[in-house]
Amino acid sequence: MNERDAVKSVLDTVVSLDIDAVAGQVSTALKAGADPRVVLNDGLSAGMRIVGDRFQSGEYFLTELLLAGEVMKAGLAPLEPLLAKTDVQGKGTVVLATVKGDIHDLGKSLVGMMLNASGFEVVDLGSDVPPQRIVDAVRAHKAGIVGLSMLLTPMVVSLRSTVEEITRAGLRDRVKVIIGGACTTPGLAKEMGCDGHGEDAMAAVYLCESFI
């Protein structure tokens, strides 16, 4: 198998969600002479994007998206020691958090998984996160994007105070702020002075990529 076909096989393995075959396919691609960065970008990540697109279009479901995340992890295991020796240029850093008062985690974690797979550095602060912690993380990680998640309308208060805290800290012109979650809409994003709204995990990825 030549290098190109081997990388394509890695991609196909991710798309077919074959968790037990992916590490072997990655090793085969490396043995065929593929650059580890090419295996990551054109194999694992490209496969993950196809899965994400299929999830967005309704062809794949949540369990399949999560399984793809596990396939990606399994495929990364043989790659990581090699990637550590290379200079991988990411797409930038995104700080993710569920706003103060809300501990729902799943949607935000999916966004983090897909952003990671798409080449972003993700700093996931978890749920119920106070505004100041988000500001601190933006500064510490030099993040260019903040993604805020929330489930219900009463959490709008927390969203507002988070955006205000980012502005007060003098960071608002340096970071894009995007929102997502059950009760969020493009209208709410506009009302809160945010830069965008992601309807689902892949939409959030495309939104972040539009800022690059």
Partner 1 sequence: MNCHERTATALNLGVPDRVPIFSCTEEQNQIYEILGNKDGALPLSMIREGVSGALFKLASPLINRMGWMTSETEKFMGKKLEADIALGYDCSWLMYSSIFNLRGNRQSTDIWGKLYDLVADPDGNVDTPMYRQGLLTTPELWEAWHHPDPDKFYKTIYRVFADLQKRYGDKIYLMGSLFSGLWESASQSMGLANFAVTLRRNPDFVRKMVKYYEKIYLATINATADAGMPAFVYSDDMGHKSGPQMPPRVLDEFFGPSLRRLCEEAHRRGIKIIVHSCGNVNLLLEMFADWGFDGVHSLEPTAGIDIADVKRRLGKRMCIFGNLDISHVLSEGTREEVESAVKAMLKDVALDGGFIMAMTNSHNAVKVGNTRWMIEYTHRYGNYPIKLA
Pairing of strands 121-124, 196-197: unpaired
* Distance of closest approach, residue 25 Cβ to partner 1, in angstroms: 16
The count of chain residues that interact with partner 1, using the rule CB under 8 A, is 26
Binding partner 1 by CB under 8 A: which of 41, 200, 206, 209?
A: 200
C-beta closer to partner 1: residue 60 or 120: 60
Angle subtended at Cα 72 by Cα 69 and Cα 76, rounded to the nearest 5 degrees = 140
Q: Show the site string, 119-158: x = touches partner 1 by CB under 8 A, - = not.
A: ---------------------------------xxx----
Ranges of H-type helices in the chain: 3-15, 22-31, 36-38, 46-57, 62-76, 80-83, 106-117, 131-141, 156-168, 186-191, 201-210
Q: According to the binding rule CB under 8 A, does residue 210 interact with partner 1?
A: no
**Encoded amino acid at 90, one letter:** G
Q: According to the binding rule CB under 8 A, does residue 20 interact with partner 1?
A: yes
Q: According to the binding rule CB under 8 A, does residue 199 interact with partner 1?
A: yes
The span from the first CA to the last CA of the chain, in angstroms, equals 36
* Distance of closest approach, residue 105 Cβ to partner 1, in angstroms: 8
CA distance to 17, 29, 59, 166, 179, per residue, from 23 (Å): 12, 10, 25, 42, 35
Q: According to the binding rule CB under 8 A, does residue 57 interact with partner 1?
A: no
Residues of this chain that interact with partner 1 (CB under 8 A) are 17, 19-20, 58, 60-64, 66-67, 69-70, 103-107, 152-154, 181-183, 199-200
